[in-house]
Amino acid sequence: MMANETPAAPAPSDNALVRTGADTMFDALHAGGARICFANPGTTEMTMVTALARHGGIRPVLSLFEGVCTGAADGYARVSGQVPLTLLHLGPGFANGIANLHNARRAGSRIVNIIGDHATWHLPYDAPLTSDIESLASPVSRKVIRMAEPAAIARDVATAFAATRAAEGGAATLIVPTDVIDAREETQDAASGGATPATWQGARVDDAAVAAAAAALEGDQGVIVLLGGNALTEVGVRAGAALAARLGGRLLMEPYPGIVDLGGDLPAVERQAYFPDDVIAQMGTARVVLAGARMPISYFGYEGWPSQLVAEASLVRLAGPEHDAIDALLRLGAALGVTGPDGAQPFTPATASANDPAAALTPAGVVEELLVQLPDHAIISLEGSTLGGPWLRNAHRARRHRVMTNTGGAIGQGLPCAVGAALAAPEARVVSLQSDGSAQYTLQALWTMARENLPVTVILAANHRYAILQTELVRANAPLGDAMIEALTLLDKPRVDWVCLARGYGVEAVRVTTCGELAEALARGLALDGPMLIQAELP
């Protein structure tokens, strides 16, 4: 099945086949809105695999590693707003996917994980793959549900969907013992529920909170409006810009947004800085309105710097990630006399790069070329500081697009998120701005890109080092030339040949060293009907 195809409606089951609990489960998942399943199944999932094939209404996407399944589900959820499934094998298989579920939790991505487990009567024997799945799943799940009764399967599914709508959203995990899911279909409990709403909007901020925020801001100037959550969509960005203009201030976004609309005629959005001293300088003494964003904190604890980077007295907590921040912004703006969201900004897309074609590549040169060539309404999956920082500083100069970032800091998110984004929006070109160190964690995503023929263009920043670690070491006055430090931060012995790796997975690839070579490769990659990787050699 190609990326632009949708699953057919469920076909009636063959009466000659005995329906099982797995059939009931997928019927309920489909009724709840699930249309895609990112899978790496094993023996305990075989009944579910055959039921998924019989159902026909949920598209299966195979990945070679569970971290690709969970990261792709995260990207799909961010772009579509809908609920994808993952199908994983026992506790160890789920454990392989936890890192990207941590990122998904920070992004508020609504996902239902399905984990096959041993039959309940087999668990006491502590077979080699037996594990405490509940303990593994709890930190990255809104709710963990162990199926116990075939008659309650549909009810358990409804409970899982409801859990994904709690607070700002997140994943729910179904643990599915083989004896429960293999059992013949039974009459379901009356509380099994039906379809759940496809999209999540957030809780409404009460009138008193909006009035309190308006009173706190009346007469203030130089206020910072800090956007997060659903305020990072077009309407939210325009409403936030209008409010910032009314208050004579600036519009910022949280440092690692799940997905944000940028570029074109949208108002420019400044990104919150990373290091604590930079954040403190950026915020100054301004009042900061939290509109869907968490309060500014230090990414790590640095001696001599506070963890909370804006004093509580300077915060105006309008809306958190769990709220409908757009609605709160519009109501606050109305209370302060804002007549409407900020209108279109003057925008003329660049048609030619200022790069010297013969010049060696730099991160700035990569960004300048992409600003020219990025098509309208593309989606960027961004992982790594080498290209991430320069892009977000210049994104307002590009055509309209959306950007996904690494919300939770667990690396290996960029390539899988690109897979999910391409499946969620097959009409869009997806560009993965990816650092080489973190790409090694989930490079199996390249195989899924090739298998599904996804329109993903990967620009891989090949500087053959862990650049962020070196930046941190410099701040700590550590000697980068020390042999032990080089052994732990350089990736050049041997240098990874990403062209060979990509081609081995079935993805077209090319290595570029100059701005001119990049321009040619990027034009080809963006026009290709399928994936392409560009290994950009950087200093």
Nearest in space to 21 (alpha carbons), one of 238, 226, 184, 259: 184
Query: 110, 80 in Cβ contact below 8 A?
Result: no
Q: Judge whether 408 and 425 are in contact, CB under 8 Å.
A: no
Distance CA 394, CA 414 (A): 20
The sheet that has 532-537: what strands, in order across it? 260-262, 401-404, 378-383, 430-435, 456-462, 532-537, 508-512
Rounded CA-CA distance 272/288 in Å is: 12
468 and 436 in contact (C-beta within 8 Å)? no
What residues contact residue 35 under an 8 Å CB cut-off, 6+ apart?
6, 7, 57, 58, 59, 82, 84
pLDDT at site 13: 45
pLDDT (tens place) for every residue of the chain, 539 residues total: 444 454 554 454 444 468 999 999 999 999 999 999 999 999 999 999 999 999 999 999 999 999 999 999 999 999 999 999 999 999 999 999 999 999 999 999 999 999 999 999 999 999 999 999 999 999 999 999 999 999 999 999 999 999 999 999 999 999 999 999 999 987 776 555 555 555 678 999 999 999 999 999 988 899 999 999 999 999 999 999 999 999 999 999 999 999 999 999 999 999 999 999 999 999 999 999 999 999 999 999 999 999 999 999 999 999 999 999 999 999 999 999 998 776 778 899 988 999 999 999 999 999 999 999 999 999 999 999 999 999 999 999 999 999 999 999 999 999 999 999 999 999 999 999 999 999 999 999 999 999 999 999 999 999 999 999 999 999 999 999 999 999 999 999 999 999 999 999 999 999 999 999 999 999 999 999 999 999 999 99
